[in-house]
Structures are given as C-alpha cells and as structure tokens.
Amino acid sequence: MTYSDKVKQSKNVLNAIQSLKDGEHIIVSYGTDREGRPNYYIVRAYEGFKGEMRYSIHKDSPLSIDGMNIDKIGKTTMRGYTYDLMTQKTTYTFPLYSMHVIK
C-alpha cells in the first residue's frame, strides 16, 4: 500500500477524531482477538490545560482499565503512550488506515 493510499484510507478516522469536542467520544474497531472477533476501542477527547484538545484511547469494555494517552496524531497514524507503576513508558503507534469508525 502506498503512502497516498494510507492517507486516503485514514481520512475518515482522522476527521472523526479531529471533529470531537470536549467530553465526546467515538468507537473504532482495530485488530482482532484470539478468536478472530474485532477489538473495539473508545477514543475520547478532552480539553487540555492550555485549551488545546487532547485525546485518549481505551478498550471498549466495562471492566477494562486499559488505556493510553495520545501523544500525536498524523495523517496516517496516532501515537499512544502510558506509564506503568515503575514509571516505564510504553508507546504504541496505531495505524489509522487499519481502523474503522463504528459510532
């Protein structure tokens, strides 16, 4: 897949994320679990200290506490990060072109 194809496929998800207002969220599907069922995630928007929009992503499950803050959103990817108990930083790059907006 070429870069321009990735940009085109990412546009729907990118527009949905960037259109979120403070307190709003969308649900996206990304990847599958061990049984081949799609994984669902909630992308939430909130206003930062300086008035800028910030985002986080969490598993869409009532019992889940798994989540990451979003550091950067580009044309084809978004980068998430989290810190564990021992202040070890974990990062992950989500390919927007592999996500699908559910609602």
**pLDDT (average), residues 51-77:** 90
The contacts of residue 78 (CB under 8 Å, 6+ apart) are 17, 55, 57, 70, 72, 93, 94, 96
Mean pLDDT of the chain: 93
The pTM is what?
A: 0.87
The mean pLDDT of 6-12, rounded to a whole number, is: 94
Q: What pLDDT score does 88 carry?
A: 94
12 - beta bridge partners?
A: none
Whether 1 has a pLDDT exceeding 90, the answer reads no
Kindly list the domain boundaries of the chain, sorted by start residue: 3-101
Q: Above 80 in pLDDT, residue 63?
A: no
Mean pLDDT of the 53-67 span: 87
pLDDT tens string 36-59 = 999 999 999 999 888 889 999 999
DSSP string spanning 11-45? HHHHHHHHT--TT-EEEEEEEE-TTSPEEEEEEEE
What is the mean pLDDT of the segment spanning 63-83? 92
Q: Is the pLDDT of residue 98 over 80?
A: yes
Which region holds residue 65: left if phi is over 0, alpha if psi is between -120 and 50, else beta?
alpha
